[in-house]
Amino acid sequence: MSQSVAPAQAIAGRASGRVPFTKMNGSGNDFIVIDNRPALLAEREIAPFTRAVCRRGVALGADGVVLIEDPRPGDEPADFRWRYFNADGSEGELCGNGAMCGARFAVLNGIAPARCRFLTLDGPVDAEVVPADAGPGLVRIAIADPVPFRPPVTLTAAGRSLAFTSLRVGVPHAVAVVDDADAFVGAADFAQIGAAIRHDPHFTPDGANINIIHVIDGQTLRMRTYERGVEAETLACGTGAVASAVIATARGLARPPVTVITSSGRPLRVAFTPDGDSARTVTLAGEARIVATGELWPEAWV
């Protein structure tokens, strides 16, 4: 897989070739957020640019890139269009933590009001960016109703059999309940299991994000996630928190609102109305923190 854009001067928008960015952290997921309304990145450049700048150690590093763009002709009314690209350059329909970061970025930069609507590949998302005195970067979003996309199945990977329930929350998720998510397996084994299940034929052609959870109490879950597109265990997953909370409730293990403790230690809060194997009126709340602002130099993607 190519990891660079060549030549560097192909990046549009300014003579220096540098791209202004904001580094943000959404409850443990980190993102490079770019105001692409001036078309700093042409369409053909986005995927290779993302792969390059998301590399850790040799570039800025991130789980993905969030682009803020103007609505397109024919779009329904909205304050902006939100796009998300995983670290491998693939475009995702939705990313909960990335959506919250995008909303706060838009509000801070005068692109949208504190209560705003933006467009995603999964449909419109309504967001509320809470005043700073309520907490560091607290954002709440309302998203489309989840949809079951595969029947429950037991799958085996690395010698372990797990019963997965599947739910599409913008993107596909598979959730398995264990006694203790932290003690389940170490990081290396979890990466092996996550990769195997994520690519299992049961989930073709899209694959799935893999969430391993345990119940702390009737309204609190612990979650670990292997994310497709990042192809690694990440510190949080907003849509995974929604899938985990809805599935745990459908199984009688929890009741909303549900707090999901991520691997960063930061909580995600999921509120919804149960509806059989799915849910209605889903909201997700978490932290969207500013880490840094600056310019990405062409040396970051060559």
Same domain membership, residue 138 and residue 180: no
- In single-letter form, the type of residue at position 224 comes to R
pTM: 0.92
Same domain membership, residue 114 and residue 218: no
**With a cut of 70, which residues of the chain have pLDDT below it?**
1-16, 133-135
Residue 73 falls inside a structural domain: yes
Catalytic residues: 95, 237
Residue 27 falls inside a structural domain: yes
pLDDT at 13: 45
Same domain membership, residue 179 and residue 87: no
Check which CATH number belongs to the domain holding 282 and give it: 3.10.310.10
Residues 233 and 252: their CA atoms lie apart, in Å, by 27
Same domain membership, residue 296 and residue 202: no
Residue span of the structural domain in which 294 resides: 8-143+289-301
Q: Residues with Cβ < 8 Å from 65, sequence gap 6 or more?
A: 31, 32, 33, 34, 46, 49, 50, 53, 54, 84, 85
Same domain membership, residue 227 and residue 131: no
Same domain membership, residue 266 and residue 297: no
Residue 148 falls inside a structural domain: no
pLDDT at 135: 65
pLDDT at 133: 66
pLDDT at 231: 95
Taking only the tens place, the pLDDT of each residue in 39-92 is 999 999 999 999 999 999 999 999 999 999 999 999 999 999 999 999 999 999
Same domain membership, residue 79 and residue 16: yes
The answer to whether the Cα torsion of 152, 156, 157, 159 is positive or negative is positive
Same domain membership, residue 168 and residue 133: no
Same domain membership, residue 47 and residue 123: yes
Residue 1 falls inside a structural domain: no
Residues 167 and 208: their CA atoms lie apart, in Å, by 9
Residue 188 falls inside a structural domain: yes
Residues 230 and 98: their CA atoms lie apart, in Å, by 13
Residue 3 falls inside a structural domain: no
Closest-CA residue to 282 (of 146, 132, 166): 146
∠ CA 52-53-56, rounded to 5°: 95
Taking only the tens place, the pLDDT of each residue in 111-133 is 999 999 999 999 999 999 998 76
Residue 265 falls inside a structural domain: yes
Same domain membership, residue 221 and residue 133: no
Please tell me the total count of domains within the chain: 2
* Phi, psi torsion values for 145, nearest 5 degrees: -65, 135
pLDDT at 7: 38
Q: What single string gives the DSSP state of each residue in 178-211?
A: -S-HHHH--HHHHHHHHHHHHT-GGGTTT--EEE
> What burial letters (b/e) apply to 124-159, b meaning 16+ CB within 10 Å?
bbebbbeeeeeeebbbbbbbbebebeeeeeebebee
- Residue position matching structure tokens 């990046």: 11
pLDDT at 302: 78
pLDDT at 17: 87
Residue 184 falls inside a structural domain: yes
Same domain membership, residue 192 and residue 164: yes
∠ CA 115-291-123, rounded to 5°: 35
Same domain membership, residue 118 and residue 52: yes
